[in-house]
Structure 1
């Protein structure tokens, strides 16, 4: 099975440049896709823009003490390491790799291939 190709997109020159809300979350567009960026204990994470359950915007939610992102609508919690729903409802959240390098902050996204042919 082929490994997915990851494309890296620069989102900031440094972590300090990211304009987090008071809840340590922000939304931005990366490669024409809206994503949520968060910071917890000085570690960055990235995930989908909305909750897979009812579409709550994650940037309006919060990060709990365990580092899970919490949807503002129904308080479903998701692990930022695995994307798994940790409150037992069975949903999964798309997560993205984040890399902080000397020349900036990057989000890694899988390259989409038409029917897996290219």
Structure 2
């Protein structure tokens, strides 16, 4: 995972418990970050909290309207394109990969790196 730059970190939650209350397991959520034009898709799975671009590179649908699966993939609601939450790769290489954003759990909270 890349190093975190303190000036580019955005605090998402104060604790794991707060994240668990706000992010239902496996349900993608749309996140808007001040100063950023594009939304981010935030997902909590059994493997952790992940952040990827919210726009499907195939035809532009919001991935936060989609689902996730047991393979830690977010599934686009339009054409079921599947993208790894770990690295953004589309599972069958039919379209571009998603941009991923590191999420880091620290003692004082959970942070998103842009």
Which residue of 35, 38, 52 corresponds with 2:40? 35
Which residue does the alignment assign to 1:14?
Answer: 15
Is there any run of 5+ residues in structure 1 with no aligned partner, and where?
110-118
Q: For residues 29-70 of structure 1, what are the alpha-carbon distances to aligned partners after superposition, in whole Å with 9 as ceiling and x for unaligned?
A: 124332111011151100011111111111110111101111
2:85 match: secondary structure: coil
**Greater C-alpha radius of gyration:** 1
2:102 match: secondary structure: strand
Which residue does the alignment assign to 1:24?
Answer: 27
- Distance (Å, rounded) in 2 between the aligned partners of 1:104 and 1:42: 17
Is there any run of 5+ residues in structure 2 with no aligned partner, and where?
none
Deviation at 1:20, TM superposition (A): 2.4
- List structure 1 segments (4+ residues) > 6 angstroms apart after TM superposition: none
Deviation at 1:22, TM superposition (A): 6.7
Deviation at 1:23, TM superposition (A): 4.4
Please, what TM-score do these two structures have when normalized by structure 2?
0.81
How many residues were matched structurally?
107
- Distance (Å, rounded) in 1 between the aligned partners of 2:43 and 2:25: 11
Deviation at 1:83, TM superposition (A): 1.0
CA RMSD between the two structures:
2.2
User: Greater share of strand residues, 1 or 2?
Assistant: 1
